[in-house]
Amino acid sequence: MSAATRGLAQSVHTQLVRHAQSLRVDVNLLLTRFATERFLYRLSRSPHAERFVLKGALLMLVWFGETIRPTRDADLLGFGDFSDEALTNIFQDICAVEVEPDAMIYLKDSIRVSAIRPEDAYGGRRVTLGAQLGSARLRVQVDVGIGDAVLPPPEWLDYPSLLELPRPRLRAYRPETVIAEKFHAMVVLGAKNSRMRDFFDVYILATLQSFDGEPLAGALRATFERRRTAIPCGLPLALTPEFVAMPEKQAQWRAFLKKNGLASAPDDLGQVIRQLAPFLEPVIKAAQTAVPFVRVWKPGGTWR
């Protein structure tokens, strides 16, 4: 490593440490986020960019800022051949993309591919790889889903950079698709559901975002059809008082808030469910009956 490269790595590391201190977040979390961000930038500059769509928790960061929910891993939807060998080759190509100096080194020989939820046809693959920022050893994790419906169509967005570096430009899920996937998980998991991040994310979206009813209902229909799941006729168990009354659910919710240092949601899971039910129930009915749903949701309000 040249003196110039070492100097750049030290400068980037120092800036990230200061940024972590200003946000009051773990330094290792921010270093990993930076490694993920710069990997996404290489993806955006590669011939494979249009084969992937950004989804998952990183979008909450794009839409609402750095303090909504801490996350370090990336989620992508992929199109085409995604055998383990094909994914390995694609990620090796991305590691080798030449970009403006950012001090990141990605170790293409460290790439590993494994199954996510092997019992689920839509589980996809998990790709991990090692990375270096100077003397810091980092791990990048990217989950690649395969075969999911995308409605409304993905939009192009500029992913924010932690430092003053070129931003990744990628296709990405719209909020309607995020809600549809998270609602699907609520339906199929039922009483076993411990994915408190889904309740949090939908709560934040309903609190801070406006929605047109028909695109949201269409996203639900497309997701449930592609995943061969019947749309419920009413609220699923996860959005009822019976779910909240299960002793472990409040504990899981509060543990999730504490672990992630979240103060932007109620401490009581019941309050969250009571706000999600009127947001989702009319959409569920419209998706189930295919009756046009022309109402508009205002942030934190009601359908009008």
The structural domains of the chain, with segments of one domain joined by +, span 3-173, 176-297
The pLDDT of residue 146 is 84
pLDDT at 237: 98
Q: What is the pLDDT of residue 153?
A: 94
Query: So what's the pLDDT on residue 47?
Result: 97
Helix axes 213-226, 269-289, angle to 10 degrees: 80
Q: What is the pLDDT of residue 180?
A: 96
pTM: 0.91
pLDDT value, residue 67: 64
pLDDT attached to residue 121: 45
In degrees rounded to 5, what are phi and psi of residue 106? Answer: -110, 130
The pLDDT, as a whole number, for residue 1 is 57
pLDDT at 23: 85
pLDDT reported for residue 295: 97
Class of the domain covering 3-173: alpha beta
- Per-10-residue mean pLDDT of the chain, 304 residues long, equals 79 95 90 97 98 93 81 91 93 97 97 78 84 96 84 94 96 97 96 96 95 97 93 96 96 95 89 97 95 93 92
